Chains A and B, each alone.
Chain A
Amino acid sequence: MRVHMIVAALLVTPAIVAAQATGRAQGSANAAAAAHAHAAAPSVPADFSASSRVRLEATYARAREHHVPESAIQNRVAEGEAKNASERAVVASAAKVETNMEDARAAMVAAGHDPDDDEVQAGAYAMERGVSKAQIGTMARRAPRGRSLTVAFDAVTRLNEHGVGLTSALTQVQAKLDAHASDAAITSLVTKAGAGVKLGGG
């Protein structure tokens, strides 16, 4: 009986040891992953209250979940901190930029365009400047396959700033996209609009 127990113990021990080793390894891996995640994780200001930290971390988590760049949120937090904004304003602004990126990405994906991070961020910036999710989708749908929309989004909002109506601005930029015009040619729309303003012709 004792022999059996010893044999059983000897037989089981490696498994236990192995299991423990595996557990340790798993724990180490988790720790390493956590450490990596912490190192790579966008910063959450240390002096923020617990509730603000939770909300900000949730915003980052949502960005990861929806495949939009966390760096844009990180930038917004850094901007708020540089400008001595309140915690509440920083958290709200971070959430807003995440939502805009989510919407911009969704619009582009729905239009059959797989955007990179720069396009998602440019789309979000365009939304901050008045372009709607539907208009982003329309531009993405009309853009030649493989063409980056970053400059196009910027051109639309800048034309609008020069007094060109948003619909007209979208039409002009889309016409350029349809014609497979270069980024420089799209940008020239804005240059011409600026000259028109200087001449008084709007």
Chain B
Amino acid sequence: MNKIRCTTCVMMVLVATFAAHGAAAQTTGQLQVGAGTATDARGIRSNAITLAPSVTFGDATLASAAISGSATFFQNNAWALGGGAAATSRAPIAGGFDVALAADGSGSRTSYGATFATANLTPALEWTFRPVTVYAGTQAAAGYTAVSATTSTGPFPGASSTTLVSHTRWLYAPVYGARLRLLGDDPSVGAELALRWEPMHVGDTVVTDRTANAALVAGPITLALSAGQRTAPGERSTFGTGGVMLDVLHGVTLSVSGGRYPADRLTGAAGGNFMTAGLSLRVGGGLPSLPTPRGVSAVPVGATRLAIRAPSAQRVEVAGDWNDWVPVPAMRADNGVWYADLRIAPGQYRYAFRIDGHAWRVPGGAVAVDDGFGGKSAYVTVRDASATDTSTAKEDR
């Protein structure tokens, strides 16, 4: 229960972080504090408080890694300690295709002698066309569960022995899915719809999960919904979660979530219902680094390169103070970064990119402000080459 509940919280935070930053190239530390209640399918109810620190490194759109821990304290004085690590990477190929790899592992130990561990690896091929991404991959996972069982021995009361009952389960699943990302003219508003189909082979059993996820970001508010159906021999069940997050301050997010989660086929943990409320504190991160086009020639001498990550865009232009805001076309690099090499006189300028002829955006990592027109503008300072020890005019971002 707890693992799934925490995972829901973490996923919600990741959705919000991704939506807010687009591509986050940075190190971010985070501490989540949550309190909640859950009732599993057997009717066993538990109330708990969880502390979950985590650190994330890298660029969410290309390569990232995270390590995390969790400490859960139950109402009956039981506790659970856990830790995990996850990594993702993405390598653009050509024609909108990417190879993506996701891997994660986690383990936890409880005060009542139970141990859970899982490992998962999912390589996939993705294809993005405009706001739509479709993917297909293969998931391979393993789960280990060990539970101490105490049994009475002999004719005398109190005599008992403890045995360790453990299981290791393997899972293989082709994974198919699609995502639709919708961005409005207002950069603070966005939505994503995702569908996923996983026919999991657990031992000799095929368990198929069909899941739909939706996330809506509107300024400081994020709404995340998930609904799914599981079919297996002798089982047909539904599950779903919903949550709301509110950024109350920079780096401080309140969240409330609840719903029904399915049984974990890897660890054998029962499904159930949950409700949780939490607070997330995020530190570090700062500005993500500016996008860099890959596989293109170096910046020409005396030119200033401006770039933005927009892998699903069909047309990108850039405009700014230096040219009376007349958009000029940018070029697409293989990694989905659009760039323009411009001859700009030394000075400081406001600029923005126009995506597909209508939505103005600023690059993640750029210094930017509200533009006064409901969007954002970025700043670039082009230094005078003669005033520095560099040989060319240099963009100073």
Contacts and interface: CB of A to CB of B under 8 A. Distances in A.
A197 B327 contact: no
Interface residues of B, number: 39
Interface residues of A, number: 41
Given A83-B360, A150-B348, A197 B26 contact: yes
A96 B286 CA distance: 28
A78 to B, nearest CB: 4
A178 interface: no
Nearest to A190: B396
Interface in B346-370: 347-348, 350, 352, 354, 360, 367, 369
A197 B375 contact: no
Interface in A63-116: 72, 74-76, 78-83, 85, 89-90, 92-93, 96
B129 interface: no
A21 B189 CA distance: 66
A74 B349 CA distance: 13
A198 B319 contact: no
B348 A161 contact: no
Task: Name which of A83, A121, A157, A183 has the most chain B CB atoms within 10 A of its CB.
Answer: A83
B388 interface: yes
Nearest to A119: B348
B32 interface: no
A175 to B, nearest CB: 19
B374 interface: yes
B156 interface: no
B396 to A, nearest CB: 6
Interface string A162-188: 110000000000000000001110010
B286 A83 contact: no
A23 interface: no
Contact of A184 (B347, B352, B390): B390
B325 interface: yes
B27 A200 contact: yes
B177 interface: no
Contacts of A198: 25-27, 289
Contact of A93 (B287, B319, B373): B373
A200 B29 contact: yes
B379 to A, nearest CB: 6
Contacts of B372: 76, 80, 85, 89, 92-93, 96
A194 B287 contact: yes
Contacts of B348: 118, 121-122, 125, 150, 154
Interface string B109-145: 0000000000000000000000000000000000000
Interface string A39-83: 000000000000000000000000000000000101110111111
A14 interface: no
A192 interface: no
B350 A197 contact: no
Interface string A117-137: 010011001001100000000
B321 A162 contact: no
A112 to B, nearest CB: 22
Given A150-B381, A184-B389, A129 B360 contact: no
A197 B285 contact: yes
A25 to B, nearest CB: 36
Contact of A80 (B26, B373, B390): B373
Given A125-B379, A161-B287, A182 B389 contact: yes
A199 interface: yes
A93 B377 CA distance: 13
B164 interface: no
Nearest to A164: B286
Contacts of A78: 321, 324-325
B27 A183 contact: no
Interface of A: 72, 74-76, 78-83, 85, 89-90, 92-93, 96, 118, 121-122, 125, 128-129, 150-151, 154, 157-158, 161-163, 182-184, 187, 193-194, 197-200, 202
Give 7 closest A-B pairs by Cβ, nearest first.
A93-B372, A197-B286, A85-B373, A82-B325, A78-B325, A75-B321, A200-B27
8 contacts: A78-B321, A83-B325, A92-B372, A118-B347, A198-B26, A200-B29, A200-B55, A200-B284
Given A154-B381, A200-B27, 12 more contacts: A72-B321, A75-B325, A83-B371, A85-B374, A89-B372, A90-B373, A154-B348, A183-B387, A187-B396, A197-B27, A202-B283, A202-B286
